[in-house]
Amino acid sequence: MPLALLKYGFRRKYKGDKYFPAARPLKDTYDVVIIGGGGHGLACAYYLASDWGIADVAVLEKGWLASGNTARNTAIIRANYLTPAGALFYEESMRLWRSLAGELGINLMYSERGHLTLAHSDAALRTSRWRAEVNQHLGIDSELVGRDEIAKLCPEINLSEEVRYPVLGALYHPPGAIARHDAVAWGYARGAMHSGIEIHQQTEVTGIKKHVGGSIELETNRGSITAGTVVQAVAGMSSEVARMAGFKLPIRSIPLQACVSEPLKPFLDPIVVSGSLHVYVSQSARGELVMGGATDPYPLYSTRSTLDFTERLMASMLELFPFLENAKVLRQWAGIADMTPDFSPVMGLTPISKYYIDAGWGTWGFKATPVCGKCMAELTATGKVPDLIRSFELERFGRMEQVGERGAAAVGH
């Protein structure tokens, strides 16, 4: 190494900024406390400061930044949902994604690949056509394509008719993308902290009390603090934390597993999903195949990996890409998905005044990080539910106004 470079590295004068400002002590009281330092909680914190000038905010995270589902997901971003409420909401998120790296000053590796949802039956073709029509009506780029088009878009897919479930067509969504999930959390966290917001890791909320005066007291493993307003954004722990606050959520917590292969030469451009085979796959910039399937068949608060999952997933992968028979799985993991009855999120008011909920993100919430953060920040700042999230209120279940996205949420559940 040249001596000049070495000297430069050790010169105090050229000390670079720390990525995150130094942590501050936990105060007794904040205007806003956000429970959960995943992408959603951090995005809400960031937009509270950037859009509303609210910075007396603490984000409490029981582990480390993005130690929940934010850094466990398979980073698929798309807007080809079935309901108008869902499609418009996710479409707005995609609009925000496109300028997010520039805004946060971090390379999110946002990469538009195109998204193919394969149809292996007449019923799946009908649903794909339905989704394409809803999408087109709302100005979302999405269409039903046949086998010839699939062969052009992804020549590697096995289009043989001599398989269990031959491919008949697909819903094609050209803007479908992937991104670097942990960078999303770091970018929002840094932006929020530079505006004066505090992020407290290793700080777990263990109890919640509402005071007569209106403030909310949070018990934590580091003592009690009070907040004027609380935002709950704890994904897989949503029901448990809501229970501490004294209300019930219609949510079941179910493990969702995923895995990656060893790095392979780039061969797979689009993201490929098959509901019938319970498999989806994309190829990351470093060549790994990022693969997943359906949720585990039972609720559980555990992030263990199972051989059963890998075996089934690989059987389906080989049906679509038989030439991968010698590829190796490098690592496997799981997150806890908070599943709602209609496969749509829960955002907005709760039975407790000034206690807002951001939950029910199951297997689909990463793509919503920017738009959800923005809407939750608006709700927190104004007390009014933004139009974009009105359909997703907790109250909808009491009114039987579900936002049914089962077929569009991810692979089969």
Q: Which residue from 40, 78, 113, 173 is in contact with ligand PYC, where contact means CB under 6 A?
A: 78
Answer yes or no whether residue 38 interacts with ligand PYC by CB under 6 A: no
CB of 144 to ligand PYC, least distance (A): 18
Amino acid identity, residue 145? V
- Is 260 in contact with 283 (CB distance < 8 Å)? no
Amino acid identity, residue 179? A
> Distance between CA atoms of 304 and 290, rounded to whole angstroms?
18
The binder of 78, among ligand PYC, ligand FAD, none, by C-beta within 5 to 8 A per type, is: ligand PYC
Strand order in the sheet with 76-77: 76-77, 177-178, 111-112
| Residue whose CB is less far from ligand PYC, 142 or 363 | 363
> Distance between CA atoms of 233 and 199, rounded to whole angstroms?
14
DSSP letters spanning 5-38: HHHHHH-GGGPPPPSSPPP----SEEEEEEE--S
Backbone φ and ψ of 191, nearest 5°: -60, -45
Answer yes or no whether residue 54 interacts with ligand PYC by CB under 6 A: no
In the stretch 336-365, what mask flags binding to ligand PYC with x, by CB under 6 A?
Answer: ---------------------------xx-
| Residue whose CB is less far from ligand PYC, 237 or 294 | 294
> Distance between CA atoms of 362 and 339, rounded to whole angstroms?
5
The binder of 36, among ligand FAD, ligand PYC, none, by C-beta within 5 to 8 A per type, is: ligand FAD
Strands 289-292 and 169-173: unpaired
Answer yes or no whether residue 187 interacts with ligand FAD by CB under 6 A: no
The binder of 97, among ligand FAD, ligand PYC, none, by C-beta within 5 to 8 A per type, is: none
| Residue whose CB is less far from ligand PYC, 93 or 232 | 93
In the stretch 61-90, what mask flags binding to ligand FAD with x, by CB under 6 A?
Answer: xxx--xxxxx-xxxxx--------------
The interface with ligand PYC within residues 246-285 (CB under 6 A) comprises 280
In the stretch 94-133, what mask flags binding to ligand FAD with x, by CB under 6 A?
Answer: ----------------------------------------
Would you call 308 helix, strand, or coil by DSSP?
helix
> Distance between CA atoms of 357 and 238, rounded to whole angstroms?
9
Residue recorded with tokens 């498999």: 279
CB of 25 to ligand PYC, least distance (A): 38
The one segment of 60-68, 71-79, 95-103, 210-218 that binds ligand PYC by CB under 6 A = 71-79
In the stretch 140-179, what mask flags binding to ligand FAD with x, by CB under 6 A?
Answer: ----------------------------------------
Answer yes or no whether residue 114 interacts with ligand PYC by CB under 6 A: no
| Residue whose CB is less far from ligand FAD, 60 or 192 | 60
Answer yes or no whether residue 236 interacts with ligand PYC by CB under 6 A: no
DSSP state of 158: -
Answer yes or no whether residue 231 interacts with ligand FAD by CB under 6 A: no
Q: Is 252 left (phi over 0), alpha (psi -120 to 50) or beta?
A: beta
Q: Burial, 404: exposed, middle or buried (Cβ in 10 Å; 0-12, 13-18, 19+)? A: middle
Question: In sequence order, which ranges of 177-330 are alpha helices (DSSP H)?
Answer: 181-194, 238-245, 307-320
Amino acid identity, residue 219? E
Token reading at 214? 């209106």
Answer yes or no whether residue 292 interacts with ligand PYC by CB under 6 A: yes
| Residue whose CB is less far from ligand FAD, 62 or 396 | 62
- Is 19 in contact with 352 (CB distance < 8 Å)? no
Instruction: Report how far apart, in Å, the C-alpha atoms of 270 and of each of 175, 227, 408, 412 are.
Output: 10, 45, 17, 19
Backbone φ and ψ of 343, nearest 5°: 65, 30
| Residue whose CB is less far from ligand FAD, 37 or 270 | 37
- Is 236 in contact with 68 (CB distance < 8 Å)? yes
Token reading at 163? 């398989």
Q: Which residue from 86, 191, 275, 292 is in contact with ligand FAD, where contact means CB under 6 A?
A: 292
The one segment of 25-33, 70-78, 135-143, 348-356 that binds ligand PYC by CB under 6 A = 70-78
Answer yes or no whether residue 354 interacts with ligand FAD by CB under 6 A: no
DSSP state of 175: T
The binder of 337, among ligand PYC, ligand FAD, none, by C-beta within 5 to 8 A per type, is: ligand FAD
Binding site for ligand FAD (CB under 6 A): 35-41, 60-63, 66-70, 72-76, 204-205, 233-237, 241, 256, 258, 292, 335, 337, 361, 363-367
